[in-house]
A and B are shown apart, each in its own frame.
Chain A
Amino acid sequence: MTASWRTVAQLAGLPALFFAAFFIAPMMVVLIASFTTPEGAPTLANYFRILFDSYHWDVLWVTFRIGALTTIVAVLIGYPLAWYLVRIVNWAPWRRACVILLVVPLFTSNIVRSFGWMVLLGRNGLVNDTLVSSGLIERPMRFLGTELGILIGLVYILLPFIVLAVGNALAKVDPALEQASADLGAKPFETFWTVTFPLSLPGLMAGAIMVFMLAVSAYVTPALLSGGHITVFSMLIFQQYSSVFDFHYGGALGITMLVLTLALVAIAGRIGERRSV
């Protein structure tokens, strides 16, 4: 009995310690800082400062709008792309090449990739050159410093998460189910809509939630592509920690962001759950 308890303690202890050291402790530091004054007295002033200031709400609105749009666009591009990779490509080397193309950027620094987009999206960048020379627009468009520019950068960086999550879900759908559907008289689109899509929904939701969370908490991409014209919430947090050195106010901003994000994800999860039953 004691031996088994010791085993359990050893087996569970290490992961618990790991979580405590790397996740819970930093979280607690931020949480405690957010509820205290620089002198160490407990206070809610940091939160009142955020909640009763419309500027913060404006920034939150921009942040979550960019996050939501990023998620929607990434889903709209990522789902068909995942479908293409899993269902249409049947030449293994080409599929492997596509997956590598998709995943390799994840290994490069976010900063490098965002700078890449700065070059591409600039006034004389490749995107504007192409658009102008193809006659789609007359004058170069402004991407840098607009939400569109940030959106493009974020979608590009976060797309692999959707493709991998959906691709994995699609690969797991038993082909016999689609055959059964066709056997019962369903045309290909009906089979997709009534069988394949609902079965891939958990993967899609997982990917979408991941993209949304990463998009609203992104710092580097919005910071580089905003050109100082647009502020998202993570920039506010960064300012407090790196320039103002107000860890208490910065902590409160961080916790506010975390709570709102989790709340939105929980709501989305509940909606998704009800759908799939």
Chain B
Amino acid sequence: MTTSILSANGLSKSFGGHAALADIDLQVEQGEFIALLGPSGCGKTTLLRCIAGFLKPDAGSISIAGEDVTALAPYHRPLNTVFQNYALFPHMSVVENVAYGPRRKGAPRAEAMRRAEEALDLVGLTGFADRMPARLSGGQQQRVALARAIVNRPKLLLLDEPLSALDLKLRKKVQRELKQLQEKLGIAFLFVTHDQEEAMSMADRIVLMNRGKIEQIGRGPDIYRKPATRFAADFIGEANLLPVKRAGEGGFTLFDGAVSITNGSAPHAAKLLGIVRPEDVAIVTDQALTGFVTVLASVEDIVHIGSHGFVTLRTNGCILISRTTPDTISKLVLGATVHAGFRSTDVHIIAEQAP
């Protein structure tokens, strides 16, 4: 039996009657890169702080590498954290910041300094050892925070929106570097973010959270193709959410019966919701496409953003958005009637929960 690096069981935490975490179960395996994704206030940071030991959960337990740490103080937990605003010690130089961890763990000064220099090399900050944190750029501070957190080689690294303070271009670059570093070190990363693109591009698995609960756990592409809930479909990428009615064994209708499809994986529920990604919706002006189910629709809005564009279509009271090429868009005019089509296999059907 392999032990998970992190195992959280039944974690709950509420603040003044508001449930920030409700019965959270989460396992993180050796060397995994996990993104904790969700909108602000969904509980992802609360979960991280419970794992780090800065918050005490109301119920549930946390184990790290098989050891129950629920009652342990932060300084006894075998993990490290990269804080949102880096939390670098302003009165210490870069190398002193990084050597702080080894020093606290009892390493002699010379060895702590040597290990700190190594960690700084690893994050590409060779030669910055004697600078003060205030004299560094945001990106450099972020690297110091990272070096400080990995210098003790923890089993688990928690990262609390570490890139949110960086500008977009730098963030993309740091994302790649962070991913490479994680693979090189083999440390499990638990990475909090509200940016779904960041989560999709970096994480092995995404833990999608909403309102203190886990909505779905899975690989990014799996959540994208087969979202478990309306929230998951809406939060990760763009989605057309269409009411679906059951029509006989394995058969379903959309757009008030205008389109019929078959689907073997639909759940048994009273209310159903069909999810179609915009890039799966094709537009043709004059004829029906072969292999597609099509519906007549009128063009309501066109947004052109360079490499591609979004066309908003109205059909039988439903809105359908299509992501299409500039070429197709150039042939469209507002108000025109077109055929919109998609493969029936591109429709993912889920149960619509009561709101």
Residues of chain A whose beta carbon lies under 8 Å from any beta carbon of chain B: 174, 176-177, 179-187, 190, 194-195, 198-199, 276-277
Contact = CB atoms under 8 A, between A and B. Distances in A.
A277 B92 CA distance: 8
B148 interface: yes
Q: Considering residues A182, A199, A276, which has the most beta carbons from chain B within 10 angstroms of its beta carbon?
A: A182
Given A180-B148, A184-B148, 17 more contacts: A174-B87, A176-B83, A176-B87, A177-B90, A179-B74, A180-B83, A180-B88, A180-B89, A181-B100, A182-B73, A182-B75, A183-B80, A184-B104, A185-B152, A186-B104, A187-B75, A277-B91
B54 interface: yes
Given A179-B54, A181-B100, A199-B90, A186 B75 contact: yes
B89 A177 contact: yes
Contact of A195 (B53, B75, B89): B89
A190 B104 contact: yes
A179 B85 CA distance: 12
Contacts of B75: 182-187
Nearest to A195: B89
Contacts of B52: 179, 183
25 contacts: A174-B87, A176-B84, A176-B87, A177-B89, A177-B90, A179-B52, A180-B81, A181-B89, A181-B104, A182-B53, A182-B73, A182-B74, A183-B52, A183-B75, A183-B80, A183-B149, A184-B80, A184-B100, A184-B104, A185-B104, A186-B75, A190-B104, A194-B100, A199-B90, A276-B91
B230 to A, nearest CB: 36
B87 A177 contact: yes
Question: Does more than half of chain A's interface fall in helix, strand or loop, or is it mixed?
Answer: helix
A165 B105 CA distance: 33
Contact of A179 (B87, B90, B91, B149): B87
A199 B90 CA distance: 8
A276 B84 CA distance: 26
Contact of B81 (A183, A276, A277): A183
Nearest to A199: B91
A185 B101 contact: yes
B133 to A, nearest CB: 11
Contacts of A198: 91
A247 B80 CA distance: 67
Contacts of A190: 104
Interface string B137-169: 000000000001100100000000000000000
Contacts of A183: 52, 74-75, 79-81, 149
A145 B88 CA distance: 52
Nearest to A182: B74
Contacts of B100: 181, 184, 186, 194
B161 to A, nearest CB: 13
B50 to A, nearest CB: 13
Contact of B83 (A179, A199, A276): A179
B101 A184 contact: yes
Interface string B68-83: 0000011100011101
Contacts of B104: 181, 184-186, 190
A185 B105 contact: yes
A198 to B, nearest CB: 5
A160 B89 CA distance: 29
A277 B83 CA distance: 24
Contacts of A185: 75, 101, 104-105, 152
A96 B131 CA distance: 41
Contacts of A180: 81, 83, 87-89, 148
Contacts of A195: 89
Nearest to B52: A183
Contacts of B87: 174, 176-177, 179-180
A186 B105 CA distance: 8
A186 B104 CA distance: 6
B100 to A, nearest CB: 5
A174 B100 CA distance: 17
A176 B104 CA distance: 18
A187 B52 CA distance: 15
Nearest to A184: B101
Contacts of A184: 75, 80, 100-101, 104, 148, 152
B78 to A, nearest CB: 10
Contacts of A277: 91
A173 to B, nearest CB: 10
Contacts of B152: 184-185
Contacts of A276: 91
